[in-house]
Amino acid sequence: MRPIISKIAITCVASSIALSSPAYAKNEKTYATLSDIGAYGLAALAVGTPLIKGDTNGAIQAGGSIAAAQLVTFGLKETFPELRPDGSDRKSFPSGHTSMSFAAAATLFNRQGQTYGIPAFVVASFVGFARVKADKHHWYDVVAGAAIGTTSGFLITRDRPNRTALVVPWGDSKGAGMSLAMRF
């Protein structure tokens, strides 16, 4: 099942790059749409991949990473009401799409490995680029969102353990036995 999901992730990255060409992305609305697809697609992949593999704990960690990134992002948006480049509202700093994307990418990298993580970071970087091209954010909004998301993803998500149970023999001058350690 892993090669199928890897191929899906690579296809998503290739599609995002192809769709971001100047010939396709003629206006800000197209970039906004592509950033929506990238951000929500990465979030779905970060939560869905562990669920497909039967890793409920991984899905909970992914959801927690994304939720924490969004909580910090929206708190900062309220604290620092900066006008968007297009003038639509005062919720520019930091980029929520970017923080969600980088939280999902960091979760995929940490939980699933480089095969998923590196393409996910490429897509997350594209989301940030597209938010600037869509005239929704300044470059520093995107950098702050990327830092928030990456930090959230790496702090909340833990590596998947290779072993779920470990039997350790022990002994001393008064006896011997075995200890069972389980990680779940």
Q: Please provide the DSSP assignment of 36-76 as one string.
A: HHHHHHHHHHHHHHHHHTT-HHHHHHHHHHHHHHHHHHHHH
d(CA 108, CA 39): 13
Quick check: 60 pLDDT over 90?
yes
Q: What is the mean pLDDT of the chain?
A: 82
Task: Assess contact for 156 and 162: CB atoms under 8 A.
Answer: no
Q: What is the pLDDT of residues 38-56, one digit of tens each?
A: 999 999 999 999 999 888 9
Band of pLDDT at residue 158, cut at 50, 70 and 90: confident
Q: Quick one: pLDDT at residue 154?
A: 92
Phi-psi region of 114 (alpha: psi -120 to 50; beta: other; left: phi over 0): alpha
Q: What is the pLDDT of residues 71-82, one digit of tens each?
A: 999 999 999 999
The total domain count for the chain is 1
Q: Quick one: pLDDT at residue 170?
A: 66
Task: Assess contact for 103 and 68: CB atoms under 8 A.
Answer: yes
Q: Quick one: pLDDT at residue 28?
A: 76
Band of pLDDT at residue 87, cut at 50, 70 and 90: confident
Quick check: 106 pLDDT over 90?
yes
Band of pLDDT at residue 15, cut at 50, 70 and 90: low
Residue 23 belongs to domain with CATH number? 1.20.144
Band of pLDDT at residue 101, cut at 50, 70 and 90: very high
| Structural domain boundaries enclosing 130 | 2-182
d(CA 108, CA 88): 33
